[in-house]
Amino acid sequence: MPASANDKDVLLDIGELTAGYGAQPVLHGISLHVARHEFVAVIGANTAGKSTLLRAISGLLPQCKGRIAFDGKDLTKLKAHEIAGLGIAHVPEGRHVFPEMTVEDNLRMGAYARADQAATQQSLERVFELFPRLKERRAQYAGSMSGGEQQMVAVGRGMMLEPKLLILDEPSLGLAPLVVEEMHQRFLDIHRSGVTVLLVEQNVSLALHSAERAYVMSSGSIEIEGSARELLHDDRIRKAYLGI
């Protein structure tokens, strides 16, 4: 049974969210929830507003009306760094690693707000276990890594926050199919380790095979929601997104 927004174990609860960048809203009354320990995907065509929704959660939008609650706390009045401090790591679209910094320094940036050196070191070791490649390349400049490796750096940097909720925006964009597959296995590992995951993904088949539940966005609204299994068999999804 998918969790409903009334269940007490809802971690992220969004209601009637209208938001955007200027006078014209991009999101029109979005309601969505993610239960604690759930893996939820958001899919939808280009410009549907998926990244905008993620930015609203992370406190990166100037205009925001409606409810965004995380672990019972209202996020709508908080600044981005305060939201991160509550345990929300946002891995943005396009990766955005610091190219002139080493892999290890990029990762450490993810823990900049944490004073505990020993705990930070432990998080770093965990990221290296998740992505052994990053341990091998820890002294390399991030800008000289492959696209897939840079995506690992971006995800690893998010994990340095020891998040409760990991938000991933199009992590497979521009990557080779094998790398994408590998990356999704790591997301499943992260989820199994107890982290709640909210994934925006253009690869609808992969998204619905990784996530437990999904929302389909269209023109700034939620069009369809359901369990990933239901959506994989939904004719509308099969025609519009899976080309079947």
Ligand X SMILES: Nc1ncnc2c1ncn2[C@@H]1O[C@H](COP(=O)(O)OP(=O)(O)OP(=O)(O)O)[C@@H](O)[C@H]1O
- Binding-site ranges for Mg ion (CB under 5 A): 50-51, 93
How many of the chain's residues bind ligand X (CB under 6 A)? 12
Choosing from 7, 47, 136, 233, the residue that interacts with ligand X (CB under 6 A) is 47
Burial of 102 (0-12, 13-18, 19+ CB in 10 A): middle
Site for ligand X in 75-104 (CB under 6 A): 93
Q: Cα Rg for the chain, rounded, in angstroms?
A: 17
110 in contact with ligand X (CB under 6 A): no
Site for ligand X in 146-175 (CB under 6 A): 170
19 in contact with ligand X (CB under 6 A): no
Please state the three-class secondary structure of 94-124 as a single string.
CCCCCCCCEHHHHHHHCCCCCCCHHHHHHHH
**Which residue, chain included where needed, has tokens 């296995």?**
185
Vertex 73: Cα angle to 67 and 79 (nearest 5): 80
**Choices 45-53, 64-72, 109-117, 235-243 (CB under 6 A): range interacting with ligand X:** 45-53
Instruction: Choose among ligand X, Mg ion, none what residue 162 binds, the Cβ cut-off being 5 to 8 Å by kind.
Output: none
Vertex 160: Cα angle to 173 and 98 (nearest 5): 55
Choosing from 48, 111, 153, 165, the residue that interacts with ligand X (CB under 6 A) is 48
Binding site for ligand X (CB under 6 A): 21, 26, 44, 46-52, 93, 170
